[in-house]
Structure formats: structure tokens, C-alpha cells
């Protein structure tokens, strides 16, 4: 079977958090698709993070594309040379001040593979201990919110977690937690 063939690829914009290119490709049956736009993003991570006191940590932050504050799970981009496990540990420490020894990989998922080329690695982290204050990037304004596991389930069931990758992470994490009971 023939493969898809990239005929042309041209960068429109190159930035660490928004790189866009215009491609042209040929399908195995010879059809030419031109143009096809792709947004390149680094791999990202997020976690359902549970403290040593049994509270789920959420972050509330303004998301300009939607022009509203969203309740989300902690997470962010994987830095060059980092593993996803190291990245989620770093992000949890930076955003929440909590350190986790129990970090469990749940799944890898693509948010919007019709446009985006990255994956998000989903984790369940347990036993978080507060070891420092937040260490946020200059553009981050994050307020921490703590919920019981039961209340976190209700947030998911009531569609209060609008970030799709975070909702999916919660879904997988709750499956693991339920199987352990």
C-alpha cells in the first residue's frame, strides 16, 4: 500500500507555543490536498492530582481565546529533553507548590488531530505534599481550588470541566480509582 506523500511544507509562523505551517500532500489514491494547515505544539501533560489529605487540586485561570476563567487540572507543556513524567512533576510543583511521589501514566491522547500535531499525556498523581509556594510564569495567574474526590466527580458529570483533555484525564483517573476500590 502506498503512503501519504508530503509534496510541500511551508512555515507561516514559528513560535514556541504557536508554529503554523501550510502543507500540500498526496493521498495513496493520488488525490492532492492543497493547502492543509497544521499547528505544531509541544507535547503537553495534565494530571488529576490528589493531595495527601484526599483533595483534588484544580487550577482556575483566564483563557483568552474563550474570554473566561476555566476550572482545569494542573499541567502544561513538556520542555525539550524532559520526559512527560518529569514534566508533570515540574508543572505540579510550579503551579500548585505540591510534590508527588506517586505519578501514574493513564493515557496519551490527541486533542484535535485535524489541526494540531501534538499529544497530551494524562496522569493520576497521589499523595501530594505542599512543599513550596507557586512559581508561575509571568503570563500565568492561577488560583488553586481544592475539592473532594466526590465533588470532583460531580464537576465532571455536570460539564464544569470544559477543557476536553482535562475532562478525559478525570474520566480515566476515576476508572483507575474505582477499580482499586
Give the pLDDT confidence score for residue 138 in this predicted structure.
85
Give the pLDDT confidence score for residue 140 in this predicted structure.
85
DSSP-assigned letter for residue 78: P
If DSSP codes are grouped into helix, strand and coil, which group holds residue 88?
Answer: helix
Distances (CA, A) of 51 to 33, 34, 93, 144, 159: 49, 49, 12, 13, 23
- Number of CB atoms found within 10 A of residue 49's CB: 28
**71: which 3 cell numbers?**
476550572
Give the domains, in start order, of the chain with CATH numbers: 5-40 (no CATH), 44-180 (3.90.79.10)
Say yes or no to pLDDT of 1 above 70.
Answer: no
**Can you tell me the distance from the alpha carbon of 129 to that of 145, in angstroms, rounded to the nearest whole number?**
15
Say yes or no to pLDDT of 11 above 70.
Answer: yes
Give the pLDDT confidence score for residue 121 in this predicted structure.
98
The model's pLDDT over 51-97, given as tens digits with 9 standing for 90+, comes to 999 999 999 999 989 999 999 999 999 999 999 999 999 999 999 99
The model's pLDDT over 13-34, given as tens digits with 9 standing for 90+, comes to 998 778 999 999 999 999 999 9
The model's pLDDT over 87-140, given as tens digits with 9 standing for 90+, comes to 999 999 999 999 999 999 999 999 999 999 999 999 999 999 999 999 888 888
The model's pLDDT over 144-157, given as tens digits with 9 standing for 90+, comes to 999 999 999 999 99
Give the pLDDT confidence score for residue 176 in this predicted structure.
98
pTM above 0.75, yes or no: yes
Amino acid at each position: 500500500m502506498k503512503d501519504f506523500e508530503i509534496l510541500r511544507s511551508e512555515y507561516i509562523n514559528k513560535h514556541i507555543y504557536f508554529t503554523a505551517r501550510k502543507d500540500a500532500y498526496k493521498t495513496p489514491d493520488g488525490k492532492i490536498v492543497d493547502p492543509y494547515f497544521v499547528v505544531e505544539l509541544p507535547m503537553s501533560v495534565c494530571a488529576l492530582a490528589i493531595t495527601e489529605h484526599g483533595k483534588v487540586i484544580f487550577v482556575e485561570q483566564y483563557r483568552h481565546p474563550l474570554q473566561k476563567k476555566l476550572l482545569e487540572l494542573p499541567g502544561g507543556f513538556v520542555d525539550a529533553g524532559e520526559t512527560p513524567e518529569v514534566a508533570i512533576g515540574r508543572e505540579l510543583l510550579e503551579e500548585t507548590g505540591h510534590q508527588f511521589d506517586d505519578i501514574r501514566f493513564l493515557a496519551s491522547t490527541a486533542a484535535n488531530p485535524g489541526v494540531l500535531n501534538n499529544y497530551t499525556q494524562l496522569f493520576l498523581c497521589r499523595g501530594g505534599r505542599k512543599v513550596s509556594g507557586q512559581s508561575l510564569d509571568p503570563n500565568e495567574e492561577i488560583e488553586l481550588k481544592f475539592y473532594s474526590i466526590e465533588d470532583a466527580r460531580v464537576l465532571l458529570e455536570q460539564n464544569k470541566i470544559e477543557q476536553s483533555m482535562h475532562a478525559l484525564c478525570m474520566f480515566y483517573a476515576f476508572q483507575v480509582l474505582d477499580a482499586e476500590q
